[in-house]
Every structure is written in C-alpha cells, then in structure tokens.
Amino acid sequence: MRNLFFDFFSHRALFYGLFNQAGKNIVEMSELLAAVVETESVDEREPLFKQINSLEENGDDITHRVYLGLDKVFFTPLNRKDIHTLASAIDDVADNIHEAAGRINLYEIDVFMPAISEIVKYIKLSCIELQKLISGLSKIVDTEGMLASCRLTKDYEHRTDLIYSHALADLFAQEKDAIKLIKHRDILFSLEASANKCKNVTDAIEIIVLNSI
C-alpha cells in the first residue's frame, strides 16, 4: 500500500512537472516570436529563429515523455484522456508558433503589417495566461479564478479572429503585389492558427477544472 501511495505521488510530480515545462516552453516561444516581429534586420532575426526551432524540438520531447508516461503509469493524477488532450493541445501551440516563425524566416519580411504585430501580442498574452493555468492544475483551489482566466484567453482568441479577418480584407483590397499578398496572407494564417491552438489548450484545461468541482 505504501508503495502505491509513493507511486501515485511520484506520478503526479511526473505529469505536472512535464506540463509545467511545456507551459514555460510555449511562453518562451511566444516571446521569441514577438522579438522576431520587433526586429527590423532580417539578419538579426536568425538567432531568434534558431532558438524557436530548438524550443519546438524541446516541446516535442516533452510531449513524447507525457505519452510514454501514459503507457507506463497505471495510476494517473488526471483522467488519461484529459492528459493526452492537454499534452497534444500544448504541442500544437508550439508547432504553430514554429510554423509562423518559419514562414517569416522563409519569406524574409522586412516590414510587417500592423495586424501581424497585434496578433503576435495576443499569442504572447495567451501563452502567459496558459502557463498560469497549467501551473495551477496540480492543486486546483480557485476554480472561479481559473475559469475567468480561461475566458480571458478565449477573448484574446476572439480578438485575433477579428484582427485577422479585417487584415485579410484590407490585404486583398489594397495590396497590388501578388507575391507580397501571398506572403502576408500565409503568415497571418499561421498566426491566427496559433491563437486558435491556444484556445484549444484553454478548452482542455476548462474541462479539467470543471471536473474538479
């Protein structure tokens, strides 16, 4: 019996520890993405892209370790499906930020549309909020506060949707250079997808919080 209790608490530390690492990872990626957009020189962005690539690989490794844990651990601190859904959702955020950064790097954008900077700001704010939520999962006390944080993150996603829609409409109405249009459209699409993936993490956390009540 004593070993069972030890295993349970060690597994709690394993999963919540990995989730905390994943949360910090996407915050760092979002901060680097913001730095990319704030950096005017294409050459000076190169180290930032390399760091984003490294963090994306780190995120994949964390997700893999969560899945391995699910295969090996009998007693899990959360519903197994919820653990898998949350890990996958966080990994999707990392993947989409990586994709957006990759397109910015590939297209060598020198001047960004204001909408790109705005969406990146909301992605960063969303990731910071997600990290707070993730760190609170190991001991859910303030359920109302966590649900309010979920609503805030969803509001960020809603704002990015509006910015994305208006930016796309303006782009097609005003941009006469077809190549520039395609480049900015693709980047906007990746950024909007990143914001949507942040919302998916919120959805997964919201279910966990509601089940704890």
Per-residue pLDDT of 177-202, as tens digits, reads 999 999 999 999 999 999 999 999 99
Q: What is the pLDDT of residue 6?
A: 41
**What is the share, in percent, of the chain residues with pLDDT greater than 70?**
95
For residue 200, the tally of other CB atoms under 10 A from its CB is: 17
User: Residue 10 — very low, low, confident or very high, per pLDDT cuts 50/70/90?
Assistant: low
pLDDT at 11: 65
pLDDT above 60: residue 109: yes
* Contact in structure between 127 and 195 (CB atoms under 8 Å): no
Residue with tokens 């954008």: 109
Residue position matching structure tokens 């997808």: 193
From first CA to last CA, the distance across the chain in angstroms is: 28
pLDDT band at 19 (very low <50, low <70, confident <90, very high): very high
Count CB-CB contacts under 10 A for residue 152: 14
Instruction: Classify 142 as helix, strand or coil.
Output: coil
Q: Do the beta carbons of residue 24 and residue 132 sit within 8 Å?
A: no
Average pLDDT, the chain: 92
Q: How far apart are CA 199 and CA 54, in angstroms?
A: 24
Separation of alpha carbons 16 and 176, rounded Å: 50
Cβ neighbours for 101, distance < 8 A, ≥ 6 positions apart: 32, 33, 36, 48, 49, 52
Please answer whether residues 85 and 204 qualify as being in contact, where contact means their C-beta atoms are separated by less than 8 angstroms.
yes
User: Of all residues in the chain, what percent carry a pLDDT higher than 90?
Assistant: 80
With 60 as the cut, is the pLDDT of residue 111 above it? yes
Indicate the DSSP class of residue 78. S
Query: What CATH fold (topology level) applies to the domain 2-212?
Result: Methane Monooxygenase Hydroxylase; Chain G, domain 1 (1.20.58)
Rg (CA), the chain: 19
